[in-house]
Structure 1
Amino acid sequence: MPSDATPDPYSDPLAFGQRLQILRQRRGMNRPVLAGLLGKSPSWLKQVETGTLQTPKLPIILRIAELLRVRDLADLTGDQSMHVDLFVGPGHPRLAAVKAAVDAFPLAASDHEAPSTQHLRHRLDRAWAARHEAPNHREVVGALLPDLIRDAQLAVRQADTAPARRAAQAVLSEVYSLSQFFVAYQPDSSLLWRVAERGMVAAQDSEDPHAIGVAAWLAAQAHRDSGPNHYDAADAVTMEALRYLEPHLPDASDDVLAIAGALQAEAGYTAARRGESGEAWGWWDKAEKTSRKLPADYYHPVTSFSRAIMGAHAVTVAVELHQGGESVRQAARADKTVIKSRPRRARHRIEEARGYQLDGQPDTALATLDKAWEAAPETIQYNGYARRIILEETEAQQPERRRRASELAVKLGLLAA
């Protein structure tokens, strides 16, 4: 290997500091940025990376893992007994069947007649509704997806007119969008990107503003969750989609208006990840104004965008900006509304828990994660932020807090019963 080659953080033996430096550089994050997010000085971080200071304690290690999106703690610590997946949940039992349906590439003519687009749309609507209503939403969606994917693909192949093909592409795009919700945070990142890209291609071929907006919304999330190097790509997708939707908005349906609002909220989320407070809250304001144009009881079937969700978005913006007190204030306001979707409600509880943790209220954070578990266990099981908080509190000095955190860790499969 050439002497100037980048070391591999997964090879042994490498000290913690060396692993940290390599993983930080691969994420495109400089020392001042990471140090600031940790509440430390750049010189402190340099001393950790060079081995002048000892390996930090577990709470700091977990925070570093969160900021660098380290999937397995062993990759950062080098301790092969610490295999804990943070930002990838367990592989779902139905993942293989969904993957097989996505990967299938039948070219021969089929003797099976594709369902009508109207029939597929009805099945898809029922699948979205089932996802929002089920605490075990991955199990429910995973059971429906293989047949939905195959039938939607077949409908596109058998469409015999341009309008019919565009309508089928719109449905196929949204089937891929539903698939992305299932595949996200599972141990197959290449499948996630395959689904996201196919969804975007089908949406563009459909020329349907709603399908294009949904595909862009999900693609932006995939880029942003890939780390700081991909924030610009997330913004590019979001802004291009908003520019495309703008001329459609004066006469738009509620669904198209809502996906524009969801994209505005996503722009704020990415800005908050960057630490750009004014930009983040500015986009939140735009999204809030868009939500006011929707009926009071409206709820977008994919993104959950609505008047009721804006409080939850405010909590997320404050948390991503590391504004603990503001997170708690926004959480108190948001709890006055009811989020209909169980997985979205669980995610909101996790964001609230992050806010309480930032504000120095770990007991309240754990109690809030309990509420997330009650709403949708399959949301919290796959959420890296929740896993980080729980693991951190299993090391708490207070016995009662340690017990509560350990019980949650066992539920999530982080610790043996």
Structure 2
Amino acid sequence: MSADTPPDPYANPVAFGQRMQILRERRGMSRTVLGGLLGRSTDWVKQVENGRMRPPGLDAVLRIAQALRVRDLADLTGHPGMRVDLFIGPGHPRLAAVRAAVDALPVRDPQAAPPPPSHLAARLARAWAARHSAPDHRERIGALLPDLIHDAQLAVQHAERPTEWRAAQAALSEVYSLSQFFLAYQPDPSLLWRVAERAMVAAQQAADPHAVGVAAWLLAQAHRDAGPDHYDAADAVTRQAIDHLTPSLPDAGDDLLAITGALTFEAGYTAARRGETATAWRHWDAAQVMATRLPESYFHRVTSFSQAIMGPHAVTVAVELHAGPESVRQAARADAGTIPSRPRRARHRIEQARGYQLDGQPEAALATLSQAYEAAPETIRYNGYARSIILEETESKVTARRRRAAELAVKVGVLAA
């Protein structure tokens, strides 16, 4: 082994600080950058690495693992079997209140008056509008969710007729679906799973095909984002949901057609994650056919499925297949300006940036991420792919690019100002 080669942290038992230094150097990251990511000084990093300071607590270890882009905590701790998701972002200030609302025991209070169904529906509509139009969409829906969760549960408890009860369950399922957009990339995966499962249970109780489709779409995403071990589960959920909805398609309205199209694309998304090129594009083609049956101005408020979204979906397929030139070609064809949702537009910019990075165009990647930030700061702030690209470029040997990446890193919050 060359003297310049960083040692293997498993070759001999080493202390936490030594592991931290080895992994930092493998990333080509300076102590200054790591300290900035952790909100600590360069001297603090040095003291931990040199063993002059006791190993930090679990919360700090998790932050270090995220900053160093470590998936297995054993790389830091030496204790096997501890995993950390690289793409979990920092906790949102509203997370604790949302968690409390989800965890609260929904005991029936006979004195509490449930909101009228029309009032609950109007509040949901406003919440979805905020989700799509506000740059700080997480803040906006995070502020609305605790009361929405409580009141939707209340509506279910006080429903007197079967039709009212099923309608209330459909509304509750939609509230939980909205919650999943807030909880995505938050440091509480168990909470996301509870909400995803409750959305499906409420949708099934409602016997509402559209609600079942939406809940399945989000549940499939939760499985896929949990990693390769869950891809089969994601496929199973998607396939079963499409089979459930298919008999209704000949007379389907726009919403039911859209959720079926969204599920069809999700099957392609998972195939792309597996590296199955032909299957991924076949599902994209099938979803495109469904999109063309929708009015040009239609936009599904949960999934964003529409004619306008199929171009960005093509970028996602190419990126997930790690096809740099193809992703750039698809990005050139997709018109982000036709996407009415700010966070979805920002996510498309992030996918474009991934494509540019794959194609060896880091300057274009950074410029596109800046566009994502302008569209919806809270989307890029909690997106692991965006954070990863920015971090890589803060270590660029090109001075102008390194400076630009550092400025964006400070805006996004991955480096301290």
Distance in 2 (alpha carbons) for counterparts of 1:315 and 1:17:
41
AA paired with 1:293?
R
8 A contact 2:352–2:368 mirrored in 1: yes
Using the alignment, how far apart are the partners of 2:126 and 2:12 within structure 1?
Answer: 50
How far, CA to CA, are the matches of 1:17 and 1:313 in structure 2?
Answer: 44
Q: Among residues 5, 9, 12, which one is paired with 1:15 in the alignment?
A: 9
Q: Which amino acid aligns with 1:212?
A: V
Match of 1:350 in 2: 350
For residue 336 of structure 1, report the CA deviation from its aligned partner: 6.5
Q: Do 1:16 and 1:76's aligned partners in 2 also have CA atoms closer than 8 Å?
A: no
Contact 1:17 1:55 in 2 (8 A): no
Please say if 1:244 is aligned against 2:244: yes
Shift, 1:57, TM fit: 4.4
- Equivalent pair of 2:108/2:154 in contact (CA under 8 Å): no
2:12, 2:410 → 1: CA distance? 32
Aligned to 1:34: none
Q: Against the structure 1 CA distance between its residues 16 and 265, is the aligned structure 2 distance closer, same or farther, given a 3 Å change threshold?
A: farther
State the partner residue of 1:134. Answer: 134
- Name the CA distance, whole Å, in 2 between partners of 1:57 and 1:17: 19
Within-5 A mapping of 1:304-343: 304-335=304-335, 338-343=338-343
Q: Tell me how far apart the structure 2 counterparts of residues 356 and 18 of structure 1 sit (CA, whole Å).
A: 40
Secondary structure at the residue paired with 2:169? helix
Residue of structure 1 equivalent to 2:159: 159
Distance 1:14 1:114, change over 3 A: farther
Q: Compared with structure 1, are the counterparts of its residues 164 and 355 closer, same or farther at alpha carbon in structure 2 (3 Å cutoff)? A: same
Corresponding residue number in structure 1 for 2:365: 365
Alpha-carbon distance between aligned partners in 2 of 1:390 and 1:406, rounded to the nearest angstrom: 8
Query: Where do 1:143-154 residues align within 5 Å?
Result: 143-154=143-154
Shifted more, 323-332 versus 112-121: the winner is 112-121
Preserved contact between residue 115 and residue 155 of structure 1 (Cα < 8 Å):
yes
The answer as to whether partners of 1:72 and 1:85 remain within 8 angstroms in 2 is: no
In 1, distance between residues paired with 2:263 and 2:332? 25
| Alignment pair present for 1:186 and 2:151 | no
Question: Which residue of structure 1 lines up, in the alignment, with residue 112 of structure 2?
Answer: 112
The code of the aligned residue for 1:316 comes to T
Describe how 1:270-281 pairs up with structure 2 within 5 A.
270-281=270-281
Mapped partners of 1:169, 1:336: distance in 2? 35
Contact 1:308 1:337 in 2 (8 A): no
Q: How does 1:184-263 map to 2 (within 5 A)?
A: 184-263=184-263
Which string of whole-angstrom CA distances, capped at 9 and with x for unpartnered residues, describes residues 84-136 of structure 1?
Answer: 98411111111111111111113242311101222211110111011100000
* Aligned sequence identity (%): 68
2-structure distance, mates of 1:58, 1:221: 33
CA displacement 1:1-60 (0-9 Å, x = unmatched): xxxxxxxxxxxx9816899xxxxxxxxxxxxxxxxxxxxxxxxxxxxxxxxxx985449x
Partner Cα distance (1:314, 1:338) in 2: 15
Instruction: List, as ranges, runs of 4+ consecutive aligned residues in structure 1 with deviation greater than 6 Å.
Output: 16-19
* Larger displacement relative to structure 2 (342-351 or 91-100): 91-100
- Residues 211/16 of structure 1: CA separation in 2 closer, same or farther (3 Å cut): farther
Count the aligned residue pairs: 358
Q: Which range is displaced more, 98-107 or 194-203? A: 98-107
AA aligned opposite 1:169: Q
RMSD (Å) for aligned C-alpha atoms: 2.2
Query: CA separation in 2, counterparts of 1:326 and 1:123?
Result: 42
Query: Is residue 336–residue 348 contact of structure 2 (8 Å, CA) maintained in 1?
Result: no
Q: Taking structure 2 as the reference length, what is the TM-score of the superposition? A: 0.82
Amino acid at match of 1:111: Q
Q: Which residue of 1 aligns with 2:381?
A: 381
CA contact (8 A) 1:86 1:387 kept: no
Using the alignment, how far apart are the partners of 2:297 and 2:263 within structure 1? 20
8 Å contact from structure 2 (residues 108, 157) kept in 1: no
Q: Could you tell me the TM-score, scaled by structure 1's length? A: 0.82
Task: For residues 144-195 of structure 1, give each alpha carbon's deviation from its aligned partner in whole angstroms, at most 9, with x where no partner exists.
Answer: 1111100000000101111111000000000000000001111111100010
* Structure 1 residue 276: Cα displacement: 0.1
Q: Quick one: structure 1 residues 336 and 383, their matched pair in 2 at CA, closer, same or farther if it must change by over 3 Å?
A: closer
* Larger mean Cα displacement after TM superposition, 102-111 or 261-270: 102-111
